[in-house]
Amino acid sequence: MLCRGPKSAYDTKMNEIIVWANTISDYERMVLILLALSLAWALEALVPLFEFGYAKVQHVLKNLVFVVTTAMVTLLLAFVAYGLIGIGEHQTGILRLLDLPVWLEMVCALLVLDFFGQYFIHVCLHRFKWLWKLHLVHHSDTYVDASTGTRHHPGDMFVREILIFCVIVIFGIAAHWYVLYRVITPFFAYFTHANIALPDWLDRALIWVIVTPNMHKFHHHYQRPWTNTNYGNILSIWDRVFGTFVYDDVKQIRYGVDTIEDGHTNDLKYQFQLPFNSSIKTDY
């Protein structure tokens, strides 16, 4: 009986997580995203890293336009993948063949999604010229704050989502683990981009496990080599393992891109046309 009690409680808890992920509504997910963004804004007001002196409301509203356009891309692809070809119902894939315990399947699924959906695709967005042009919209923000976390060109998001769906098929990731991943990632996107100054001791302790605001800020420096470091979103292990981790004096950071003139951060027309702007040269 001593062995069965904890196992039964564990099974119940895992089942609760699966049921919750399978039944969470789009409205509830939106509330969670708004809570994450609101928390980041509160921290930015209390402990700002940089004093930008900018029109924050205008900047945030412009960045939130990209949330709408990328959401449209995500929903469209999700409808096609799950509604038409039944990607969420497949019974094949690496994880299915391994027949892992539920908790280990969840951990492996989240690790796979974080690696391919965040780190791997992020590296590709920096290494291939045509992908980098799409990703420039994210990096051209000269006032990096929480709202920058979901500032992505629709084409950028399209590439990310296509890769994610391929990974889901290959690894046999259950739909509920994908939903759980989708709930977790916005929290880190807003947290790591937030203009907040964590205590140095806390930031340095956290980066042994997760990506922190200071760690990710080096990625938004306007010049290489820092631009090509710290690609992770949730776990910092990927950057450490693949040699792309860097940590220095955060006060040396200057936001933007050295091939784009400052001043276009809030120009939506310019930003949406940026990937197709032939006047912008890049070595990628």
pLDDT digits (tens, 9 = 90+) for 129-178: 989 999 999 999 999 999 999 899 999 999 998 999 889 989 989 888 99
Is residue 240 helix, strand or coil? helix
- Binned at pLDDT 50, 70 and 90, residue 83 comes out as low
Averaged pLDDT of the chain: 88
pLDDT, residue 25, reads 86
- 60, amino acid identity: V
Residue 166: inside a domain: yes
Length of the chain: 284
Range of lowest pLDDT (13-22, 182-191, 239-248): 13-22
Q: What is the pLDDT of residue 8?
A: 59
Number of separate domains in the chain = 1
In a domain, 212, yes or no: no
Q: Is 208 among the domain residues?
A: no
256: left (phi over 0), alpha (psi -120 to 50) or beta: left
pLDDT of residue 7: 58
CA distance 270 to 284: 21
Task: Measure the CA–CA gap between 40 and 43, rounded to whole angstroms.
Answer: 5
1: in domain = no
User: pLDDT, tens digit, for every residue of 25-35?
Assistant: 888 988 998 89
List of residues 6+ apart from 216 with CB closer than 8 A: 192, 193, 230, 232
Q: Is residue 219 part of a domain?
A: no
Assess if residue 176 is contained within a domain: yes
**How far apart are alpha carbons 17 and 24 in whole angstroms?**
10
pLDDT confidence bin for 98, thresholds 50/70/90 = confident
**For residue 66, is it within any domain?**
yes
Answer whether the bond into residue 225 is a cis peptide, omega within 30°.
yes
Please name the amino acid found at residue 65.
Answer: V
Q: Is residue 60 in some structural domain?
A: yes
Which amino acid is located at 57 in the chain? V
Q: How would you class 106 by CB atoms within 10 Å of its CB: exposed for 0-12, middle for 13-18, buried for 19 or more?
A: buried
- List the domain range (segments joined by +) for residue 86: 26-48+55-199
How far apart, in whole angstroms, are the C-alpha atoms of residue 69 and residue 82?
A: 20
Please state whether the predicted TM-score (pTM) of the whole model is above 0.75.
yes
Position 99 scores a pLDDT of 82
pLDDT for residue 86: 56
